[in-house]
Amino acid sequence: MPQHARHEERHAAAEAAHALLAAIGDPARPAIDAGRVGVIVAHPDDETLGCGGQLARLYGVQVAIVTDGAP
């Protein structure tokens, strides 16, 4: 893939991410389809403490808790 095409692809991805973050931050907007958003955390409640307010505005988010059971 030519360098110019890679730059355009990265730019499009950055614009999409920016639009999603702007929509999440607007409390007047209804819930947003997250599409392909995943959250991977090390401990139960990390997703709630870290970004729970934002996750509550999305539907379709997948959360994976990866831990060895240690506190």
Give the count of beta carbons closer than 10 Å to the beta carbon of residue 65. Answer: 13
Range(s) of the domain holding residue 24: 3-65
Give the count of beta carbons closer than 10 Å to the beta carbon of residue 68. Answer: 5
Whether residue 70 lies inside any domain: the answer is no
Q: Is the pTM of this model over 0.75?
A: no
HEC string of the chain equals CCHHHHHHHHHHHHHHHHHHHHHHCCCCCCCEECCCCEEEECCCCHHHHHHHHHHCCEECCEEEECCCCCC
pLDDT of residue 71: 64
- Give residue-wise pLDDT tens across range 1-55: 677 778 788 888 888 877 777 776 677 777 777 777 778 888 888 887 777 777 7
Whether residue 10 lies inside any domain: the answer is yes
The structural domain count of the chain equals: 1
